[in-house]
Amino acid sequence: MNRNDSCWCGSGKKYKKCHLDFDEKIDSIKFNKNKGQIRPRHKLINNAADIEGIKKAATINTGALDLAGSLVKEGIDTLSINDAVHEFIVSHGAHPSCLGFENFPKSICISVNNVVCHGIPSKKTVLKSGDILNIDITTDLDGYFADASRMFFVGEISAEAKRLIEVTREIMEVGILAAKPWHFVGDIGAVCGKMARENGYSVVTDLGGHGCGKDFHLDPFVSHDCAAESGMLLVPGMSLTVEPMINMGRKQVVVDADDGWTVRTRDGSLSAQWEKTILITETGNEVLAS
């Protein structure tokens, strides 16, 4: 681009006043192909208007997760939670992104006990004391997406289940701390995997986090157990999810053949997950959706 052209990011500013220094810094980096290091494409970089759009979607998404959590109790079926969240999101002028995504049949994912992710809400799934569950919600508003999930439990749960929930949240937070500008996405997975193993858990590697903001799923893929300094370079303006899926037993998973969506631990062990959408900034990162 010429220095006086409008910047490629869509900010309306001249290139020299916006992303010229940014591009020159990326061009100065020597990427190690043996580590799978790659540069981010321009379309993954959010401008100020994009970030504001994601934050507005995140406000609704956070309210939806708050509502879902308030409904978790013994005897409620997961479809009732889904329906209440759907109405909340739609009433705020937004759309529940899961609904219809690659033919997913419901508005949110509710994954109970040994379900790792993509649990389909159902009248037949009635919560009982001792259950742990992940509720995963993504909201899109005016073309911007925010994605987050939280763990909940019903009544009295075992000490082992409580520890799994708490440690998984700590693993997510450690991963978020590792997400820094001019470092690599693999740094997130390196610290998450290390902490999981130190606590006697395994990390699901068949699934992971992803870019999120101007679309539901974007690059990069965010592994939560991988080598440091690998994968895509993280730069200011990128938004992505950190969402480790941690199993009490082995990491292997299976997908239910009957619905093609529900992912379970192969050995039947409990699984937990927490998720936040973050923005890479000049100095670190900012949580956009939680």
Q: Is 246 helix (H, G, I), strand (E, B) or coil?
A: strand
Q: Which among 264, 249, 253, 268 has a CA at the least distance from the CA of 160?
A: 249
pLDDT digit string (tens) for the chain, length 290 residues: 899 999 999 999 999 999 999 999 999 999 999 999 999 999 999 999 999 999 999 999 999 999 999 999 999 999 999 999 999 999 999 999 999 999 999 999 999 999 999 999 999 999 999 999 999 999 999 999 999 999 999 999 999 999 999 999 999 999 999 999 999 999 999 999 999 999 999 999 999 999 999 999 999 999 999 999 999 999 999 999 999 999 999 999 999 999 999 999 999 999 999 999 999 999 999 999 99
Tokens of 109: 């994912």
Could you tell me the pTM of the whole model?
0.97
Amino acid 81 reads I
Domains of the chain in start order, with CATH, are: 44-289 (3.90.230.10)
pLDDT at 241: 98
- The per-residue pLDDT for 58 is 98
Q: Is 198 exposed, middle or buried (0-12, 13-18, 19+ CB in 10 A)?
A: exposed
Q: How confident is the model at residue 7, as a pLDDT?
A: 97
| Structure letter (DSSP) for residue 120 | P
Q: Indicate the Cα dihedral angle 250, 251, 256, 260, nearest 10°.
A: 180
Q: Tell me if the bond preceding 220 is cis, omega within 30° of 0.
A: yes
The whole-number pLDDT of residue 69 equals 98
pLDDT of residue 185: 98
Instruction: Quote the pLDDT of residue 176.
Output: 98
Instruction: Please report the pLDDT score of residue 25 as a whole number.
Output: 96
CA distance 23 to 17: 12
